[in-house]
Amino acid sequence: MSTGTEENALSGGADSIRDEAPPAEPAATSRWAAVQPWLSLIVRVALAGILGYAGYTKVIVPALSVESVAAYELFGETLNQLIGYTLPLFELALALLLLAGLATRVTGIISALLMAVFIAGIASAWARGLTIDCGCFGTGGVVDADETTYALDIARDLGFMALGLFLAIWPRSRYSLDGALGLYSSSDEER
Amino acid sequence: MSKESRRTNRERLRQERIKQKKRAKRNRLLATIGAAVAVIALVVGGGYLIVQASNGTSAEEYTGTLAPQTLQEDGSVVMALDGVAAPVVEVYADYQCSHCARFEMINGDTLKELAAQGEAIVHYRPVSIFADAGDPAGANSLRAAAAARAAAEHGKFVEYSDILFDNQPSTRQQGYAVDDLIAWGEEVGITDPAFAERVRSESEIVEEFVTNYYPELSTKARAEIPEDQLRTMRLNDLIEWGEDNGVDSSFMDGSHVRSVLDATAAVNAKYSEGANAFGGTPSIYINGTLLGNETYSATDFREAVLAAPPGQVDTRPAAEEDTDATPSEPPSPSPPA
């Protein structure tokens, strides 16, 4: 993706023409400027895939999604039901936005916050000595004590959180609705 | 007009243009965020309605008469109209398993209704996959399963089972207390004092199992059996091994606790491999075929049962008196499913 043919693709946005060309920059910066939109595209698609998969595996069996939430023993049955039903849908919606590249920065921030909430939930289950599956991808509930994978789950969610933060910092990406709408064009990416 | 003022004018215009551009940009950003919020609202809100409508959180409550319940030799219970030809729905459940309670909540009433209409032969087969989980989960599971078997002997298995699932404790909390188990028996109309007695004696066996027998068995096994071999052994294999190695299980003889453990071993043997392998509870089999996600969907579950051909129950009724099966109206002509 870092082919030399992108030298002029400082902006994936439609208004790149309207913006005055930025003054010549040091080679390293322009190289990054060329690569970054592609990197952000990859991150977008990856995070969309992760959230989409997580949402899909839960939404097909809502009852088990509710059960996964209940296993955390944090809320009452009514709230468990609500979360169990809507959380997978929320994940799917975020995946959709990421795939389309709409409001990428905000979506990235929300995704990262969501991961922070998940991490807090897993940590609290761990701290309270529960033996549960995190229910991150479909199957949740109580498992044997030697089958818990809290540290791994948290590490993984930290990774996903990093993807969200990446998009929060570098929202400009290739093939995005944002780009088509002239958002995050190069002129306001003065970082 | 002086050159000077023209320049400031131009400068002002330039500033104005920049401001305008900024404003336009901000509006675009706000519009984009608005669109994103709309997408989220649409997916979550719309999806919620669809999921609610298509899956149904639970079936409609069934308050009609139950089909006759027949205790089987192995302690399981068949609920069906007499002589009906219908698909056999095997329900393997553990009273400590939360997914099982969820299944009961969603499809328990559907099963009662289908059985009463002659559309299904429901074979309740309580097991205990939590038996080796110690106190409290293992003890809860065994106490409840043994009490349910005692209720089955008095013809009230289905009613009693409902109460058990309604009162399921958390796996970290002691539940299914002896006094409660006895009181629930009265609640479903078991007046025979033999029931209370049985619940008490079974609970003592559970106590012995959880506090003395199993810890001893597991310590000894871990010391004497190579780990890779130990990992492949199920609870019943361990119990058998214990017999030959000085861990006596005879305190369980003739108890419902033993029969629950036997039932658990039996399902592992019956559905040992392939797509239908028993992998935990709840496991619902229609004519021997394991159900997947339909298990947790009110609509899909009903359809799966209705679409199945008639099947055969693979256990025989218990020899003793036939519970209190009140002769119901003759079975409705079973429609070809």
The answer to whether A70 contacts B98, with C-beta atoms less than 8 Å apart, is yes
β-partners of residue B79 are B69, B122
Identify the pLDDT of residue A1. 40
**Amino acid identity of B111?**
L
**How confident is the model at residue A142, as a pLDDT?**
77
Sign of CA dihedral A118, A154, A61, B45: positive
Beta bridge pairs of residue B100: none
User: In this structure, what token pair is assigned to residue A161?
Assistant: 């959180």
In this prediction, residue B325 has a pLDDT band, given cuts at 50, 70 and 90, of: very low
- Residue to test with chain A: of B14, B17, B40, B100, most A Cβ within 10 A: B40
| pLDDT score for A4 | 39
Handedness of CA A76, A77, A80, A81 (dihedral sign): negative
* pLDDT the model gives residue B327: 42
Contacts of B31 in chain A (CB under 8 A): 181
Instruction: Give the DSSP letter of residue A5.
Output: G
Torsion of CA B32, B38, B39, B42, to 10 degrees: -170
- Cis, peptide link before residue B136, omega less than 30° from 0: yes
Answer yes or no: is pLDDT of B329 > 80.
Answer: no
Contacts with B57 from chain A: Cβ below 8 Å: 63, 81
**Residues in contact with B328: Cβ distance below 8 Å, sequence separation at least 6, in sequence order:** B65, B67, B68, B81, B82
Closest C-alpha to B129, from B276, B279, B255:
B279
Long-range contacts of A162-165 (CB under 8 A, 24+ apart): A163/A43, A163/A46, A163/A47, A163/A50, A163/A108, A163/A111, A164/A47, A164/A108, A164/A109, A164/A110, A164/A111, A164/A112, A164/A113, A164/A114, A164/A115, A165/A108, A165/A109, A165/A112
CA B70, CA B318: separation in Å to the nearest integer?
A: 8
Q: How high is the ipTM of this complex?
A: 0.79
How do the pLDDT tens digits run along chain A, 191 residues long?
Answer: 444 333 333 334 444 444 444 555 567 778 888 899 999 999 999 999 999 999 999 988 888 888 899 889 999 888 998 999 999 999 999 999 999 999 999 999 999 999 999 999 999 999 998 888 888 887 777 777 777 899 999 999 999 999 999 999 999 999 999 888 888 765 444 33
Domain boundaries, chain B: 1-55, 69-307
Which phi and psi (to 5°) does residue B119 adopt? -95, -10
Instruction: Read off the pLDDT of residues B279-290 as tens digits, 9 standing for 90 and up.
Output: 888 999 999 999
* Other C-beta atoms lying within 10 Å of the C-beta of residue A20: 7
Mean pLDDT of B153-163: 95
Q: Write down the residue that tokens 């519970």 correspond to.
A: B323
pLDDT at A152: 94
Under a CB-based contact definition with an 8 Å cutoff, are residues B267 and B273 in contact? no
Q: Which tokens sit at B234? A: 């199920």
From B35, B43, B296, residue closest to A61, measured CB to CB: B296
Alpha helices in chain B (DSSP H): 3-41, 47-55, 98-116, 137-153, 157-166, 178-187, 193-208, 214-224, 227-231, 235-244, 256-270, 298-307
**B133 contacts in chain A (CB < 8 Å):** 144
**CA-CA distance, B238 to B224, in Å (whole number)?**
12
Determine which of B42, B100, B167, B171 to mutate to test the interface with A (most A C-beta atoms within 10 Å). B171
Q: For residue B297, list chain A residues with Cβ-Cβ distance below 8 A.
A: 61, 63
A87 touches chain B (CB under 8 A): no
In 3-state terms, what secondary structure has residue B284?
Answer: strand
How far apart are the two ends of chain A, measured CA to CA in Å?
Answer: 22
Which chain A residues touch B106 with a CB distance below 8 Å? 63
Cα distance between residue B47 and residue A104, in whole Å:
22
Indicate the helix (H) or strand (E) that contains A91: helix A77-100
Q: How many Å apart are CA B317 and CA B325, to the nearest integer?
A: 12
DSSP string, A21-68: PPPP--HHHHHHHHHHHHHHHHHHHHHHHHHHHHHHHHHTSHHHHHHH
B256: its two tokens: 């419902």
Of A85, A130, A183, the CB nearest to B48: A85
pLDDT at B221 over 80: yes
A59 touching chain B per CB within 8 A: yes
User: Which range, A23-27, B19-23, B114-118, has the best average confidence (pLDDT)?
Assistant: B114-118
Q: pLDDT band at residue B110, thresholds of 50, 70 and 90?
A: very high
Antiparallel, parallel or unpaired: β B88-93 and B283-286: antiparallel
- Report the pLDDT value the prediction gives residue A29, as an integer from 0 to 100: 77
Q: Is the dihedral of CA A100, A102, A105, A109 positive or negative?
A: negative
Between chain A and chain B, how many beta carbons pairs sit less than 8 Å apart? Answer: 85
- The whole-number pLDDT of residue A186 equals 54
**DSSP H or E segment with residue A180:** helix A177-180
Which of A86-95, B145-154, B215-224 is predicted with the least confidence, judged by mean pLDDT? B215-224
Task: Kindly report, residue by residue over B241-269, the tens digit of the pLDDT.
Answer: 999 998 999 999 999 999 999 999 999 99
pLDDT of residue B281: 87
List the CATH code of the domain at B69-307. Answer: 3.40.30.10
- Phi, psi angles (nearest 5°) of residue B91: -115, 105
Cβ of residue B51 closer than 8 Å to a chain A Cβ? yes
CA dist., res. A95 & res. A81, Å (int): 22
Q: What is the pLDDT of residues B68-109, one digit of tens each?
A: 999 999 999 999 999 999 999 999 999 999 889 989 988 999
Interatomic CA distance for residues B223 and B170, integer angstroms: 31
Q: What is the DSSP string of B173-199?
A: S--S-HHHHHHHHHHTT---HHHHHHH
Which pLDDT value is given to residue A42?
97
Q: Tell me the two tokens of residue B229.
A: 């071999």
Burial of B286 (0-12, 13-18, 19+ CB in 10 A): buried
Q: What is the helix (H) or strand (E) element at residue B77, kind and residue range?
A: strand B77-79
Q: According to the model, what pLDDT value does residue B59 have? A: 61
